[in-house]
Amino acid sequence: MLFDLPDHDTLYRALLAREAVVRLLGDSPAHLRDRQLLKAAWLASPIGEMLAVADDHALHLLEFFDRAALPNELKKLREATRSAITFGRTPVIDRIEAELGEYFAGRRAVFETPLAFHGSVFTKAVWDELVTIVPGTTRSYAEIAAQAGRHTAVRAVARANGANQLAIVIPCHRVIGADGSLTGYGGGLWRKDWLLRHERKMAAALKA
């Protein structure tokens, strides 16, 4: 199945969302100035700009700029970490940028950037299972639920997938419907399709 790229109206809404993020992170709230500071930076990719948020030790968020939920995710992250978020760079952002470059060039399938997880015990268990999915392959929501020890928790797995704030690195794009359909990707189904095709090509090249 082929997926079309976003139309002009979709891109326009995405640009508005990007501006909302810029306004949200433009200045650190005064009442948080004495607390931990997270840095955010825009990263280029072949399938759209991404926003990375990190401290000096770990990556907290990596999302496509046009994800509708991004402003709300940033607010939740700020509350969860009791931090201010402002634009800037850290060694962690430099590292994930380099690793993403290798990934998109077909030279890397596994990421080594340190990650910070913000979620419930079950949600983190689901994310742990996602990381075990071999690049170039997929699993169903039901399979992830079984491997996480909750055979009947398919909907909960879907919610945990949706709560993932580390796109590509925690590969929720590798989870598909039981019938093989591509469903439920916050970055857009066309990106999910692109990523899966890219990883299949990369896996085939590594085997050759």
Chain center to CA of 116: 12
State the residue for tokens 């955010």: 40
Does the active-site annotation cover 6?
no
What are 182's two structure tokens?
Answer: 């591509």
36 phi and psi, to 5 degrees? -55, 145
Task: Name every residue whose Cβ is closer than 8 Å to that of residue 45 and which is 6 or more positions away in sequence.
Answer: 100, 104
Q: Which residues, in sequence order, are CB contacts of 71 under 8 Å at separation 6+?
A: 17, 20, 21, 24
Q: Are 14 and 66 within 8 A, CB to CB? A: yes
Q: Three-state SS for 147?
A: helix
Task: Give the chain's count of helices (H) and strands (E).
Answer: 7, 6
The active-site residue, picked from 126, 172, 176, 202, is 172
Output the six-digit token pair for 205: 């090249």
The set of catalytic residues is 172
